[in-house]
Structure 1
Amino acid sequence: MFSPSSIVALRKERGFSQEVLAERSGVSLRTIQRVERGETVPRGYTLQALATALESSIANFQMTEEQPMPAVPLADLRPDPQFLQLLNLSALSFLLLPLLNIIVPVVLWRARKHQVQDVAELGRRVVGFQILWQVGCFFLYLLAVAMHLVGGFSTKSTLPFSLLSILFVTYAVNVGVICYNAFRLRQGHLNLYPIRL
């Protein structure tokens, strides 16, 4: 298994900065930073270019027994049911401004995903459902407009009523789903939003 710390150790052993390694290997600085942080695993050309620049074999990039996998231990994640509830209810921000139902949960999710237990999974579920809801609303509005265009000029006076009906129904559905999942979250269930992206 690939070890990011072995690349860092070899680079420092050779006295290279990340910039020098990027120049010598032909790999972008951003890629080297991501590899060293363990955000990506180098493959093919990138792996060979790094090995050549560091004058090392690819086998030296493998993880040894004493090198633990860099990860956030579960013991470091603290339970915080109030934050989970806040993350779920933050999707209601669409009532103030469209798209806030995606932006606010993403900000909260990314801020605490390595600190609070179950935030990573719940954040994915909340954001996935809200994206699906936004896409669904868009296509419903598009369908209503298309039906009125195909229907001719006699039905154009009902277009505003149709759009308002879609608005109220979709908003009511989203509020209902968020509140239902808030109730389930309060009971300790974490398997929320089964329909999502």
Structure 2
Amino acid sequence: MKELNTLKEYRKARNYTQEELAKQSGISIRTIQRIEKGLTKGSAHTLKALAKTLHIESTDIIISNEENTRVHDDFYKVKLMNFSILSVLLIPFGNIILPTLIFLANKSNKHANSTGRRILSIQILSTFLLSGLAISLFFIFGRGNGAIPKPVPIIYFIYTSVNIIIVIHTSIAIDKKKQILKFFPDLI
């Protein structure tokens, strides 16, 4: 049988919800959530109260520094990939190029790989859809006069604004450890 080593695993093994564990142990639900996400290790008092409620030793639920560091590094890599999308403001197609480089450098990392695929899929799909729209408008409104039609910069502005919104939304989802924009198809 797999050895349990996190508060969440022990809580689930005892069939407690976070709310039930908070009520039984007298520890706030927010503290329990922070410990389970690896954002804090918890005080000695907190760990003793939780351990007593779960009928385990308080040392059983301490995440090692190495594990905590690995989780933090994974989180940082995904956030970096997400924010690298904003390079589109300076470099054409930067929203695909830079995240792809970060993705390829961290492909062996399970979390960065799965979330990175979703981030890249979103950017590839949105880039090609909006590029196609801009090219279509260029031919429809440009009529070969050599000038860039007015709708093209407007579409680029909308495109960059949408990318900023996607980055913010994705960042919030990453912070909450939720699946990001699951309605987008996986292209990679």
The structural deviation recorded for 1:146 is 2.6
CA distance in 2, matches of 1:134, 1:149: 21
Which sits farther off after the overlay, 141-150 or 89-98? 141-150
Aligned to 2:171: 182
Rg: which structure is higher? 1
Aligned to 1:48: none
CA distance in 2, matches of 1:144, 1:124: 30
Amino acid at match of 2:166: V
Residue 105 (structure 1) aligned to one of 81, 90, 99: 99
| SS of structure 1 residue aligned to 2:149 | helix
**Contact map agreement 1:122 1:192 (CA 8 A) in 2:** no
Amino acid at match of 2:104: R
- Alpha carbons of 1:139 and 1:119: their partners in 2 closer, same or farther (altered >3 Å)? same
| SS of structure 1 residue aligned to 2:178 | coil
Alignment TM-score, normalising by the size of structure 1: 0.52
Superposed CA offset, 1:115-140 (max 9, x none): x3411111111111111121112111
CA distance in 1, matches of 2:142, 2:103: 41
**Contact map agreement 1:181 1:193 (CA 8 A) in 2:** no
**Contact map agreement 1:91 1:102 (CA 8 A) in 2:** yes
CA distance in 2, matches of 1:90, 1:96: 11
Correspondences of 1:1-197 after superposition (within 5 Å): 78-79=70-71, 80-114=74-108, 116-148=109-141, 160-192=149-181, 194-196=183-185, 197=187
Amino acid at match of 2:128: V
**Contact map agreement 2:142 2:149 (CA 8 A) in 1:** no
Q: Percent identity?
A: 27
Unaligned runs of 5+ in 2: 1-66
Amino acid at match of 1:177: I
The structural deviation recorded for 1:169 is 0.9
Superposed CA offset, 1:148-180 (max 9, x none): 156x98xx98x5321111111111111111111
Alignment TM-score, normalising by the size of structure 2: 0.54
CA distance in 2, matches of 1:191, 1:146: 35
- Alpha carbons of 1:82 and 1:106: their partners in 2 closer, same or farther (altered >3 Å)? same
How many residue pairs align between the two structures?
116
**Contact map agreement 1:129 1:193 (CA 8 A) in 2:** no
